[in-house]
């Protein structure tokens, strides 16, 4: 993996490191296309990845200095999709700069929206998280080589530039693996459990059998170890990518900026019943997507706990010889957990002619008081963007690495960040009974009692111990699997 291109001067190099912000977002496709019928293709919906880029632009412009630069690195699965993402994000940046009353008031009479747009940069790269060889090549090039936008971009064309570090990586990309919807089951669920519970924790999605990537010739994987498609797209591809990007996410003792952040995107559907560590990739059960999100919760929330640390520390430690850096002097990145609430997404297998009904059900749930039905990608991006932009002391003071931060919305469309209950963990990794929950000082939909799953039980100290032990076992399994695949991929490199 040798890249000879000489770097060109990047526009963000004109300002010091503390005025630069580099954020990588996986799965930032411009659109999630609704299924087609014959020649007809209906409305297109923006995904959470694109919404995250848009929200980062808005909140960055509202909170950072007038000389700071934002560098967004949205990934997609192909160069054409990357071009679409670049054009959409840059068009949004122009609109944001032109209409920002905050910027005008801060900059005064000398405000020029063109100067603002010149501080917003989009560098979109292709990445297939199911292709572990491509994941390693992607990380290697980002660390040691130069990167460019696909040819064809008419705006700012970034070519052969270096990315000196990453401040946040937002692991948004996912694959659902569903075949359709059990409509009779959906109606029965709504009659017996109510609309809000049914569309928050749906039990009527028909899952496809777990696809084994080893059986797909395009990946040229060995027969063993098995690698499931949903598991790879949602968890393991990101897991390998994060380790490979450690030289960009870690910080030396002399660094003037804080360590990077690994921001996992989970789901409100990640409940206890969908996961078993003995079938971590969900080969034998139908809830592969939900299982992957429960695994994400377990990994992220236990990463810094004593039982998991012997394994998580390996993942957060650079390999020997990486960039010639002494690993003992590097501060590792911080790990955080978020989820977008419930967004009208084509991950959920609803035919185009019923998508309006699906979206209406989510909107009605929000009217009925649900905090989780954010509905659109921009609203669903609130939690991930919030974690990416918060000052480190504020996150540390909040114990943010022990909390699952969810995007929430109320009936007035006010969007906020809400602590999310995790079965077996609670809201903050400590026991809370009914009295403690009632004493929560948050108001409105942000109160802990709002948006709870029916039948959930208050967490006990024993539950939390079991959660940590399960998390440690998951970390052990993940590290063993990563080591197996690392040996395979290194053998490929040597050939």
The dihedrals phi and psi of 120, each to the nearest 5 degrees, come to: -115, 120
Give CA–CA dist 314/250, Å, rounded. Answer: 14
Contact yes or no for 252/329 (Cβ under 8 A): yes
Of all helices (H) and strands (E), which one includes residue 380? helix 377-380
Neighbours of 330 (CB within 10 A): 22
Residue 379: alpha-carbon gap to chain centroid: 14
Q: What length does the chain have?
A: 495
Q: What DSSP letter does each residue of 113-155 carry, written as one string?
A: HHHHHTTEEE--EE--TT-HHHHHHHHHHHHHS-B-PPTT--S
Residue with tokens 């921001």: 263
Q: What DSSP letter does each residue of 2-37 carry, written as one string?
A: ---PPPPPPGGGGS-GGGEEEEEESS--S-EEPPPB
Q: Which two tokens stand for residue 371?
A: 């905090």
Contact yes or no for 475/316 (Cβ under 8 A): no
Give CA–CA dist 382/426, Å, rounded. Answer: 21
- Which positions are catalytic? 266, 289, 293
Give CA–CA dist 156/308, Å, rounded. Answer: 44
């Amino acid at each position: 993996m040798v890249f000879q291109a000489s770097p060109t001067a990047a526009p963000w190099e004109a300002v010091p490191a503390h005025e630069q912000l580099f954020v990588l977002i996986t799965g930032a496709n411009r659109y999630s296309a609704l299924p087609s019928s014959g020649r007809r293709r209906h409305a297109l919906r923006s995904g959470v990845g694109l919404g995250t880029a848009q929200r980062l632009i808005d909140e960055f412009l509202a909170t950072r200095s007038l000389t700071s630069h934002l560098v967004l690195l949205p990934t997609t699965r192909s160069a054409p999709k990357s071009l679409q993402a670049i054009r959409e994000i840059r068009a949004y940046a122009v609109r944001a700069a032109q209409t920002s009353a905050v910027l005008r008031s801060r900059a005064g009479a000398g405000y020029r929206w063109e100067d603002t747009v010149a501080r917003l940069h989009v560098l979109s790269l292709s990445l297939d998280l199911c292709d572990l060889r491509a994941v390693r090549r992607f990380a290697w090039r980002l660390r040691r080589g130069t990167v460019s936008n696909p040819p064809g971009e008419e705006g700012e064309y970034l070519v052969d530039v270096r990315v000196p570090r990453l401040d946040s990586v937002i692991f948004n990309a996912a694959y659902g693996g569903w075949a359709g919807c059990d409509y009779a089951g959906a109606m029965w669920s709504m009659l017996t459990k109510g609309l809000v519970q049914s569309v928050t924790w749906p039990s009527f999605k028909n899952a496809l059998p777990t696809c084994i990537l080893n059986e797909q010739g395009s990946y040229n994987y060995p027969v063993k170890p098995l690698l499931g498609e949903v598991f790879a797209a949602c968890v393991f591809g990101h897991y390998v990518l994060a380790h490979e990007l450690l030289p960009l996410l870690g910080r030396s003792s002399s660094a003037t900026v804080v360590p990077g952040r690994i921001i996992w995107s989970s789901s409100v559907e990640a409940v206890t019943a969908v996961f078993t560590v003995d079938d971590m990739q969900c080969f034998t059960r139908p809830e592969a997507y939900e299982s992957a999100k429960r695994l994400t919760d377990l990994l992220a929330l236990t990463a810094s706990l004593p039982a998991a640390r012997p394994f998580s520390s390996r993942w957060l430690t650079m390999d020997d010889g990486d960039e010639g850096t002494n690993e003992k002097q590097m501060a590792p990145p911080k790990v955080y957990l978020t989820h977008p609430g419930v967004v009208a997404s084509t991950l959920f297998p609803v035919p185009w002619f019923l998508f309006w009904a699906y979206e209406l059900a989510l909107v009605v749930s929000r009217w009925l008081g649900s905090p989780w039905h954010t509905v659109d990608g921009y609203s669903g991006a609130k939690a991930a963007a919030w974690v990416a932009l918060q000052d480190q002391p504020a996150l540390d003071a909040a114990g943010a690495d022990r909390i699952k931060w969810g995007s929430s919305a109320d009936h007035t469309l006010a969007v906020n960040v809400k602590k999310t209950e995790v079965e077996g963990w609670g809201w903050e990794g400590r026991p809370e009974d009914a009295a403690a929950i009632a004493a929560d000082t948050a108001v409105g939909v942000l109160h802990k009692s709002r948006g709870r799953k029916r039948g959930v039980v208050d967490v006990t100290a024993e539950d939390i111990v079991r959660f940590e032990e399960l998390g440690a076992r998951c970390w052990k399994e993940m590290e063993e699997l990563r080591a197996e695949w690392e040996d395979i991929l290194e053998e490929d490199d040597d050939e």
